[in-house]
Chains A and B, each alone.
Chain A
């Protein structure tokens, strides 16, 4: 049972459930050793939807842009004093300061993940479509994504682990 179960609105619940499903697909893709583009695709989608689930807490729609995960982390990193311990605990950190330090360390990876979305990839490497659009010469399935090497490192694995925790424990901090 979550220690701080909180209500979330119906919009948040829909976006959270979709993020959870995308994240489960990511686990299958990782376990099956499929081409990294597929893992990156699901990771990008899960994080984008998790961020949107959070941003829906106001009841107003967030921007349709694919950007949002880095913003989501920054928003949580600036949580007011009253709720800091709750956020730290939800994300598996003992102290809120440790959580803030962790965010600073992983924000560059979060930005790289966001920029994988085809609409943000400037007609270049992305995990979904061959590029460039007009005369494609590369396909995601053959591409060696630099961010994948980062995600497979200790810090990247830690980010993936915290994303898993963030998805599963969303109800604990959805209202903050």
Chain B
């Protein structure tokens, strides 16, 4: 895997800002770098357009991006309702295995 020219934090910020700008249901994006692989970008996106759900849907979609280039990375996104996010922050609902709120970076800034 290429070892240079990849700024994970900057890339995560770009994704967060793009998704907030272009996706009408997304009200906040939370970048969760703690415990993630060097080229894994984990985002939780809070979406008001999702229907009320059971917690079974709390599963990341895993997109590989820029494979074979210096900026190769994996983008892992979990979409949650505002109610699910409240329960996640209250530690009443678990994130996917290995994901953590420690060091979470919110967009827009809180």
Interface residues of A (CB under 8 A from B): 27, 30-34, 89, 92-95, 98-99, 101-102, 105, 152-155, 157-158, 160-162, 164-165
Q: How far is the CA of A89 from the CA of B55 in the complex (A)?
A: 11
Inter-chain contact B79/A158, CB cutoff 8 Å: yes
B71-87: contact bitstring with A at CB < 8 Å (1 yes, 0 no)? 01010010100000000
The answer to the question of B63 belonging to the interface, with a C-beta cut-off of 8 Å to chain A, is: yes
Q: Are A32 and B61 in contact (CB under 8 A)?
A: no
State how many angstroms separate the Cβ of B100 from the closest Cβ of chain A. Answer: 21
A96 to chain B, nearest CB (A): 11
1/0 per residue, CB under 8 A from A, across B51-67: the answer is 11110110101111111
B67/A34 in contact, CB under 8 A: yes
Cβ 8 A contact of B64, one of A30, A153, A154, A160: A30
Shortest CB–CB separation between residue B39 and chain A, in angstroms?
11
Q: What is the CA–CA distance of A94 and B77 in the complex, to the nearest angstrom? A: 22
Minimum C-beta distance from A20 to chain B (A): 16
Interface of A, helix, strand, loop or mixed by DSSP: helix
Q: A92-B54, A92-B56, A154-B49 are in contact. Are A31 and B79 (CB under 8 A)?
A: no
Complex CA–CA separation, A102 to B49 (angstroms) = 9
Across-interface contacts of B47 in A (CB, < 8 A): 154-155, 158
Output the least CB separation between B102 and chain A (Å): 24
**Residue from the list B25, B51, B64 in contact with A98, Cβ < 8 A:** B51
Q: B23–A93 contact, CB under 8 A? A: no
Check A154/B23 contact, CB under 8 A, given A93-B52, A105-B49: yes
Residue of B nearest to A161 (CB): B57
Binding site for A on B (CB under 8 A): 19, 22-23, 25-26, 45, 47, 49-54, 56-57, 59, 61-67, 72, 74, 77, 79
Closest residue of chain A to B63 (Cβ to Cβ) is A30
Given contact pairs A33-B72, A94-B54, A158-B79, A153 touches B22 in the complex (Cβ within 8 A): yes
CB-contact partner of A92 in B23, B57, B74, under 8 A: B57
Q: Are A152 and B51 in contact (CB under 8 A)?
A: no
Q: For the complex, what is the distance from the CA of A162 to the CA of B108, rounded to whole Å?
A: 28
Q: Does the CB pair A33–B77 fall under 8 Å? A: no
Partner of B63, one of A33, A94, A153, A165: A33
- Chain B nearest CB from A164 CB (Å) reads 7
Set B23, B51, B59: member contacting A153, Cβ < 8 A: B23
